[in-house]
Structure 1
Amino acid sequence: MTTSDGREVYTRRDLMTKYGMSLSALEEWYRNRRWTGHPEAAGTAGLELVWDAAEWDHWYQERQNTTGLVTRADLEERHGLARSTLERLWALREENGHPAPVKTHDRVMYWDHDEWEAWYGEHKKRTQRRELQVDRSGNPDDLLTLAGAARVLGVTPVSIAHYPKRMPRGWPQPVQEEQLPSGRLRRWYRRADIWTYSETRTAAGPHRKHPSRKPRSEDTTDHTPD
């Protein structure tokens, strides 16, 4: 055991010997200590960094302890959710308030199950309230203008007027386009496609908007609600 100022410390070589760890793993944990919580170095022994042995052992034991914590795989099994849905919920955490992981161990995130379950219950209530606003009546093959699609979704036409230009994830392609005398385009959507979008929208909350395929200067969409 290496000592420094009368106390026991670890060099990386000590840790490799005691715990059978690779040098690359130890270096990565320390390099990413902002996220891993790895203790700060206590000084040096020659040219090597050293860490307080008691502090390091305590950190490592806590890191290994996952009691009461769940991974995405656990959440898939317990809640019947698809991996892609869980990944989308996490990707949209700034909008939906998804809780942060308690720890990340070997690139796997762990969440407090009670905290996650409470959050998910509230999230489902919010998305179900949005879903109740969707108008499910009518022929699925009906063609709707943008204003008609807004009525189906239970939102104001102005709130989705930018969709043809900045398409949210899951927004359908139009099935028909009409050239107006002004030179602008009016797009028509299948009612069934709007219903499908509403299900995508409520699965993980509002999606980030993405640029349309056409440059802004080429957009000739009629954004006037019909």
Structure 2
Amino acid sequence: MATRTINGRRAVDRRGVAARLRVAYSTVNHWHRQRARFNFPEGVSCDGRDWFWVEEIDTFHTTHLAAKRAQLTTIDRSGDPDELVGSGTAAKILRYGSYRNLPDTLLDQADRTEKLPDGRIRRRWFRRTVWAVADARTGRQSTGRTLGITGPRKPHPYADDPRLAAAAALLAEATNTGQEARGLGVELARRLGIGERTAQRLLAAANSDLDR
């Protein structure tokens, strides 16, 4: 990451944008490639690199998040906030067509869990928990590719996830100490308080970014 002053104005490079906005580097590249679509700042070229004014990046991010939130479905806020509900009702609260569409962020924050005889996990949430998770959403992930057009590779589903930084840090630790990748999912799940499945996905996404 680099920061510099150009003509009296603070600017950051692409990695600086990623760090400032807590998104993946690939997401910044995606925004820049399709800046007309996302209204991403044009930036300036200096010493063979792209630089972006800090104030324009901050304004872009505020506007971008507001636009993404506006795309979200309106949730059902009726009922007792302390009522425990299952996955089917949680999906209805979020206006999803099926419980299979429930996001990992909700699955990882179940207020009650029960292991069934067949090994599956039954999850239940207070209505207020479902509402809180919905309120924390930032919007749908950018698709990265226009239908019918061969274009740049789209970002992974966790491109905007702030937990990606923790996954990348853990991978770096493992590399520096010569630790095997086996068991990293368990460790990341412990550090972030999330499910191991989600942790494995975050590690895979972080590793993909490192390979770019």
TM over 0.5: no
Normalising by the residue count of structure 1, what TM-score does the alignment of the two structures yield?
A: 0.41
Work out which of the two has the higher radius of gyration on C-alpha atoms and give 1 or 2. Answer: 1
Normalising by the residue count of structure 2, what TM-score does the alignment of the two structures yield?
A: 0.43
